[in-house]
Amino acid sequence: MQLVIDVGNTRVKAGVFDTTMLKEMVVIDKGRFSEEINRLAGSLPIKKAIISSVGKLSDKQQRSIQLRFPTTILSYTTPVPFENLYSTPETLGVDRIGLMAAFAKAYPEQSGLVIDAGSCITYDYMNNKNQYIGGAISPGIRLRYEAMHNYTAKLPLLDIPDNFSLIGETTETAMHSGVIKGVLSEIDGVIEQYKQEYNIQVVVITGGNGEFLSKRLKNSIFAHSNFVLEGLNYILTQTND
């Protein structure tokens, strides 16, 4: 079994895979990182691990994994199951590398766009020759709410609503319309551009807000809640023990 750890900007997701099957997955508060990892390791026969970190994992926390299992620390130099044509590969986020590995496994020889709706919204394009070209990064939903609150004098900090309308009749509902409708219009517009210019065959959405957005987008789209973990597991499977 393989331990896969994805350290994001706001949370840590850890999963244990038996070959390609996700046996257990937890979302961990960084303050309980060691406790949760010890619980997983104590109950499952883990052989090796991989860590992908775009957030902050302390040296002590990282070493606790490395001392326990053979561990791959994902970077742009790690062998991956696709050709990386990004002009500055050393600046490419490891979470995006994990996403492209997942796409390469799930949709071989197909062109596609992977959208990760987390703290930021990332768009990543792979052609049907298994070549990663690049994409785009824009502010995520939470970041847009926080920006309006932090850079204005009176706008409140809001949470994502269950329901919202095109026309906001109060300040709060107007903010919801601007953020949610704006994000949906952005994503649908980007998808349409990729379809027209690159004839993409598959669109995948993942990330913390992926499920919420997938139900509201106009385009046909596949929602994968654990796509990064699946990609990291695939990368680890390809490494030597």
Condensed to tens digits (0 to 9), the pLDDT of residues 4-22 reads 999 987 789 999 999 899 9
Q: Burial level of 19, CB count in 10 A (0-12/13-18/19+)?
A: exposed
Q: List the CATH code of the domain at 78-234.
A: 3.30.420.40
pLDDT band at 241 (very low <50, low <70, confident <90, very high): low
- H or E segment at 103? helix 94-106
Catalytic, out of 6, 18, 95, 159: 95
pTM: predicted TM-score of the whole model, two decimal places: 0.92
pLDDT digits (tens, 9 = 90+) for 163-178: 889 999 999 999 999 9
Q: Could you give the C-alpha distances from 101 to 28, 78, 224, 229, in angstroms and in order?
A: 23, 12, 14, 10
Q: CA-to-CA distance for 10 and 91, rounded, in angstroms?
A: 20
Residue 65 has pLDDT above 80, yes or no: yes
Collapse the DSSP code of 146 into the 3-class scheme (helix H, G, I; strand E, B; otherwise coil) and give the result. Answer: helix
Residue 111 has pLDDT above 70, yes or no: yes
> Average pLDDT for residues 148-168, to the nearest whole number?
94
Q: Where are the domains of the chain?
A: 1-73, 78-234
- Which fold would CATH assign to domain 1-73? Nucleotidyltransferase; domain 5 (3.30.420)
Q: Burial level of 237, CB count in 10 A (0-12/13-18/19+)?
A: middle
Please say if 95 is a catalytic residue: yes
Same fold, 1-73 and 78-234: yes
